[in-house]
Structure 1
Amino acid sequence: MQHVFIVGSKGIPGAYGGYETFVDKLTEYHQNNSRIKYHVACKGRDNLEFEYNNARCFKIKVPNIGSAQAIYYDLKALSECCKYIKKNNIDNPIVYVLACRIGPFALHFKRKLHKLGGSLYINPDGHEWKRAKWSLPIRMYWKFSEKMMVKQADLVICDSINIEKYIQDTYKQYSVKTKYIAYGAETKRSIISDDNPKLIKWYHEKGIVAHNYYLIVGRFVRENNYETIICEFMKSNSNKDLVIITTANDTLMDMLENKLHFKSDKRIKFVGTVYDQELLRKIRENAYGYLHGHEVGGTNPSLLEALSSTNLNLLLDVNFNREVGSCAAIYWSKEQGDLSKLIDKADKMNNDCILQFGISAKTRIKENYSWEYIVNCYEEVFLCKI
């Protein structure tokens, strides 16, 4: 049996985020796989262990030390992995670290793991050091940490072809061994019907009409280009709403209002978060179109979900989005007037054209990004120890 230790997600079940969903799906699809045993670190208030999806989940108690919590969590989790491997005499374990937060300590843990006969795999996520929310010193730390982790990793698993190319080009002096395995998405339709009371209530409370809105789902951060999207939507002649499902960020909200005065446009509707995944999938399915402005990162989970659910997808034209959407979407730039013209054009598209985009998008997800396909790729890597 191959033992795989996963460090870096907040844990399973119940936590929401890209890494958390990935770990949940990986263990779900492999729960009856007798050849792999997963051990998943989970952030918690105690040090308990429990089983979930046939994976051994172990909680790591993290003190309230501000932004250093994530680094402490990873270090503590890695220490616990090493202790468990040594105590239980586990042969050839793989420790898979999600994100590059602990670069300065990577060599230390690599040496410990190699002494125990193990391997260190990492997933670098996207360009975390480019995110606008970080101050310059923190961005510099992220970049340095990425470098040190990539240098020490036995294998770097990238969820984007472009991220893999970036890793290979940037760190070629280290002869980095990489493997491309994308993030995944569900291909099934929502179990919620159009006359479901929960759905009808949500639409009524938010003042939204099914099939008469463009949708955005994602974190409310600057690099997701909410300013450009809202500004351009306000310029458009669309009679549809722009429905924004996102997290709270009062600073960014106030900045956008002061700059754009979007609250005067009744079409712009911030509706909070939706954690009910079936309801969210149905809201995606009922959208006229999906607007995606993410430009930092690899394969974006919200984009995959949009392509699997929404027929018409309007994506910011950057290489990460092109890689995923290919010919199954239409693209816009941040050039003034470009998106507003595209929205007006999209409003006039005939149903057959929109439906064809939807078929292409769902085919692309099914063939390249379904969770079944993705976890099979991971099984091959873990069992072959590529």
Structure 2
Amino acid sequence: MKDVFIVGSKGIPAKYGGFETFVDNLVSRQVNRDIKYHVACMTFNKKVRQYDYNGADCQEISVPNVGGAKAIIYDLKALNWSLKEIKENKLQNGIVYILACRIGPFLHNYIDKFHKYGFKVWVNPDGHEWKRAKWSKPVRQYWKYSERLMVKNADFLICDSRTIEKYIHDEYSKYNPQTTFIAYGADITKSSLSKENKNVQNWYKKFGIILDDYFLIVGRFVPENNFETMIREFMSSNVKNDLVIITNVEKNKFYDELKEKTHFDKDSRIKFVGTVYDQQLLKFIREHALAYIHGHSVGGTNPSLLEALASTKVNLLYNVGFNQEVARDTSLYWDKVKGSLKNILEITVKFTEKEISEYDQSSEHQVIDYYSWKKIINDYEFTIMGKK
């Protein structure tokens, strides 16, 4: 039996988040029963639970709700729990898999303790967290410093993007990092909802949106997702379609600043519709968009991009290595040069049904061939069991 302790996700069952969805799928779709997963789960409650979830041993870790620092506290407490479980149950030769690079300055204190029991420490470096505009300069400096120390001290790194894997080797070659590439996953399944569904009809009616006739953006409303470029380019285009933006902008300083700069609220085509937590409704909205616009510039294999490739007919992506790697020639690409996205929007609305169908099928096959959860789980299990 190979014991694998997973540290760094907020927990399962997943409510939201890339790492949480990944861990949920890793556990729920497990094939090889010679692997035993132990998953740390964050809670702010003093009283903690230990429970089984699809065969995984889940342990809640109580942390104080103290802003950004709580994630570091959580990871360290989760490592202490892992070490305690290994000692008490006399476990040997397993893996401690840490998601993201939050605890670099502290990791070296744990390496020898885990090695004593034959446990290797694996790390998923995630994307370029230190580039995110939401962090202050000191926090970004900490992220970069922490990333370096995580790479230096880890036994093995799993990168969910070849672009990230190349960056790790280029940036930290002096540490000779041992890495492999295993992507994030997605499902090719249609929404269970139909056009006749009441929730569907009410949602489209509420916002005055026409089926199959709108551009769509789904994602966090943050600067690094290039909302300013997407909105400005859309406003300058001559397309008659709506731009439907699914995001949470409540108490969002960036939203207020962008409204002041662009006056997008004066353009009736631009529709901020809030968040959609009903996953079947969100999938339906993706499926019935004319095209999806993806502006993410930070990260590895982005979950929302995979969902778009799996569900939306035509995808218009920001021209950056991560997105090119995932979508290849199944999508259209734009950059920040004035007029780039505007031109693509105006081209897209003139596509024939045949052209739309070709983009739809090629992006769907891209996900099936390279990013299906079945393939991702198989890659992980082979790697864990030392067969890859």
Displacement after TM superposition at 1:112 (Å): 1.1
**Counterpart in 2 of 1:2?**
2
Using the TM superposition, give the Cα deviation of residue 385 of structure 1 relative to its aligned residue in structure 2, in angstroms. 7.1
Q: TM-score, normalised by structure 1?
A: 0.98
SS in 1 for 2:68: helix
- The Cα shift of 1:64 comes to 2.0
Choose from 298, 301, 305 the match for 2:300.
Answer: 298
* TM-score with structure 2 setting the length: 0.97
Which of 282, 285, 292 is the equivalent residue of 2:284?
A: 282
Aligned to 1:38: 37
Secondary structure at the aligned position of 2:216 is classed as strand
SS across alignment from 2:97: strand
Could you tell me how far apart the structure 1 residues matched to 2:276 and 2:14 are? 14
Amino acid at match of 1:118: F
Q: Which residue of 1 aligns with 2:233?
A: 232
- The answer on 1:90 being equivalent to 2:83 is no
The residue number in structure 1 matching 2:16 is 16
Please list, as runs of the form range in 1=range in 2, the aligned pairs for 1:150-229 lying within 5 A after superposition. 150-229=151-230
CA contact (8 A) 1:85 1:93 kept: no
- Equivalent residue of 1:121, what SS? strand
Correspondence 1:1-386 to 2 at 5 A:
1-30=1-30, 33-44=32-43, 45=45, 46-248=47-249, 250-384=252-386
> Over residues 77-135 of structure 1, what are the superposed CA-to-partner deviations in whole Å (9 max), with x where a residue is unaligned?
01000000110011212110000000001111111110121010000000000001111
Q: Deviations along 1:242-263, whole A, 9 cap, x unmatched? A: 1111123520111111000000
The letter of the residue matching 1:37 is: K
Task: Indicate the SS of the match to 1:242.
Answer: strand
Letter in 2 for 1:182: A
Measure, in 2, the Cα distance between the counterparts of 1:177 and 1:276. Answer: 40
Q: Deviations over 1:119-173 (max 9, x none)?
A: 1000000000000111111111000000000111111000000000000111111
3-state SS of the aligned residue for 2:366? Answer: helix
Give distance in 2, aligned partners of 1:53 and 1:201: 35
Q: What number of residue pairs does the alignment pair up?
A: 385
CA contact (8 A) 1:103 1:145 kept: yes
Counterpart code for 1:340: K
Structure 1 unaligned segments of length 5 or more: list them.
none
The separation in 1 between residues aligned to 2:324 and 2:23, in whole angstroms, is 26
| SS class of match (1:210) | coil
Please give the per-residue CA displacement for 1:278-307, whole angstroms capped at 9, x wherever unaligned: 111111000100000001111100000000
Please say if residues 238 and 346 of structure 2, whose CA atoms lie closer than 8 Å, have aligned partners that are also in contact: yes
Give the unaligned 5+ runs of structure 2.
none
Output one character per residue of 1:30-81: Cα deviation in whole Å (capped at 9) or x when no partner. 1x53211111111112321111121111000011222200000000001000
CA–CA separation in structure 1 for the residues paired with 2:16 and 2:53? 16
